A and B are shown apart, each in its own frame.
Chain A
């Protein structure tokens, strides 16, 4: 006889909701009511296996649990009938406990994500929540906290990898009675959602990290600068702050000590450059988010002129972990110069996408093949992009590189904030470079000439190449501009904007040359370089292509072979998508 069911937990992170988790929860509650089953339905944050969402976990009184994947209304009905009422586990819906995707990870920062109810402070407290803060304010001096973080070897998880303890010591050393502690949650890299998942799944961990940082640096007021695009994260943070204040874990004279800390949530307004710390502070002050010259560094003169310490969400998520396990224990995880774990948002042409946390030192190959399950479909791996618009593309030949700050920088890419997008043979690397540059170009704040104009010229060159009008000398011009944009920009946005271009030129130069000399896009992505043609022998004359064609380029008599008028075709690919007989071929290049 199976153990009794204690509760059923639905993953309600943004990705789960997008995949239909709310519908599943509703169906579940309705079915439980219908059968008079008194089983609580709880919510949790991102479990991390986004490719299997919506996820539902059945926890039993004896401590065992079953994770059901790809849930929908029909599967929910069977879950209620067979497992909850009948006591029979539905093996075919289960995520097996030894599933490589989950088994190969090391969850420190995300330990609570997908386990606790993020809207319940009791859940957090039950898992040693705020124990680290308590230890800091009651048993440690601020200097001791700074030392502890220094000796843990923790480096900033926002991308640059600056030692966190050192940063704190600068803010600690600054004089004045007013200091600020800021959490940078302006996660702007496209393809990155680690910070959102942590804020949604375990908001108290970030608040606890902030409070410890404030205690260590001497701040009494803090701001969480969160993207406005993250409404769920904002909602859960506000709730968490209120709950923590109620229990004197935030606010005045925390836990009876002399330390007070008030936190405000500030919504961003949609500007990528605000991820840069001086721009972020300008934005909090209500100005255009433009970076300013450092020095003075924020640790000396930051928000409203006061010494300010700024850390990324994931960095702060590490703080309670370090104080709980001890710096020396923490420093045993990872490599010599990169300690602890890193959270990545694994996406793109990968079989198992989602949010993962891995120990530093793991190889890219292990992440992509062992955890990610390899490439989606049966295509060949081409590259993995790290660090978003500031990062670079790493080719297959470098897949055995270790994930640590220095090894990744040596490839021309960067650790970055954690976006990891996998690309296959159907991804055009010139187009990828163009894509990232169009992003940084439009997000440049316009302050520095080379960032404003240099990226624009680079983008024009890349657009020309992808349109089949490139010239070989363009490649030298790109290199030249890249070097100048890098050295003539004030902030990280401009300094790193050329990285996607430089790494693709370095590792995939032949694709650039093919675009220029043969007007060929081997990935069949650059619209100006591809043609759609009907394969007469395969066409059944069903008319599906003609029905979807927006420009009437695809046409023909019913039951007769169709054709595509190249003069009218805009290469949208709808006909190719619609054809069920593989009768539409895509060709590229001068000889095609």
Chain B
């Protein structure tokens, strides 16, 4: 196991309530949670791998497959919903050919559906790699996605 991960385990070993921070930092480091890393965390916190997997799968933040190079989050907050978020879903689907939660075959995009990005006055919004794009239409979103891959 690589050094940075081992340092992480050491750093958090004795902290109360360390399970979720460890999962979060591990995902930050690797992009996702592998079986191997979850087992290592289980050992450090003194729980079974099944318990750790149970915790990880409970929370929406954790992913168990390597993500694509670009992350697309389609906001489905209330304001976005009433302003046409469904049509953005459709645009993503027809442009990239994947459903929310999936990664494109070329590994370029991972698409997520999120509950609310809190930019309600710019609705409907999509976040692409930490940049918020607001007041979108299906067509504008398609053009934005094409620009991302250049």
Contact = CB atoms under 8 A, between A and B. Distances in A.
Interface of A: 14-15, 17-19, 50-51, 53, 188-193, 196, 228-230, 266-272, 283-290, 304, 345, 347-349, 353-354, 385, 388, 419, 421, 423, 427, 432, 435-436, 439, 445, 527, 548, 550-551, 570, 572-574, 577-578
Given A286-B18, A288-B54, 17 more contacts: A14-B118, A19-B122, A190-B76, A267-B20, A269-B59, A283-B20, A286-B17, A286-B45, A289-B58, A349-B83, A421-B78, A423-B82, A550-B94, A550-B95, A572-B87, A573-B84, A574-B91
A40 to B, nearest CB: 27
Contact of B78 (A14, A347, A445, A527): A347
B24 A229 contact: no
Contact of A272 (B20, B84, B115, B123): B115
Contact size class for B? Answer: 35 or more
Residue picked from B16, B62, B77, B137, most chain A C-beta under 10 Å:
B77
22 contacts: A14-B118, A18-B117, A18-B122, A19-B119, A50-B120, A190-B78, A191-B120, A193-B116, A229-B118, A230-B118, A266-B21, A267-B20, A270-B60, A270-B62, A286-B20, A288-B55, A345-B118, A348-B123, A432-B81, A435-B78, A570-B90, A574-B91
Nearest to B120: A347
B118 A421 contact: no
B128 to A, nearest CB: 12
B79 A271 contact: no
Contacts of B91: 572, 574
B61 A421 contact: no
A353 B82 CA distance: 14
Given A267-B24, A271-B59, A421 B82 contact: yes
A419 B118 CA distance: 10
Contacts of B123: 347-348
Point out which of A53, A190, A270, A284 has the most chain B C-beta atoms below 10 A from its C-beta. A190
A427 B21 CA distance: 40
Given A270-B60, A289-B59, A191 B139 contact: no
A283 B94 CA distance: 38
Interface string B106-137: 00000000111111111101000000101001
A215 to B, nearest CB: 23
A318 to B, nearest CB: 21
A229 B24 CA distance: 13
B74 interface: no
> Which 5 A-B residue pairings sit nearest by Cβ, starting from the closest?
A286-B19, A347-B120, A270-B60, A191-B78, A550-B94
B87 A50 contact: no
A51 B121 contact: yes
Given A267-B24, A283-B20, A18 B125 contact: yes
Contacts of B62: 269-270
Nearest to A18: B132
Contacts of A353: 79, 120-121
B38 interface: no
Contact of A439 (B23, B115, B118): B115
A548 B115 CA distance: 28
B31 interface: no
Contacts of B23: 269
Interface in B4-50: 16-21, 23-24, 45
A578 B139 contact: yes
B138 A354 contact: no
A269 B78 contact: no
A388 to B, nearest CB: 7
Contacts of A385: 78
A345 B132 CA distance: 19
Contacts of B94: 550-551, 572
A256 to B, nearest CB: 29
A402 B26 CA distance: 49
A527 B77 CA distance: 19
A62 B144 CA distance: 45
B22 to A, nearest CB: 9
B76 A270 contact: no
Contact of B138 (A17, A285, A435, A574): A574
A271 B139 CA distance: 32
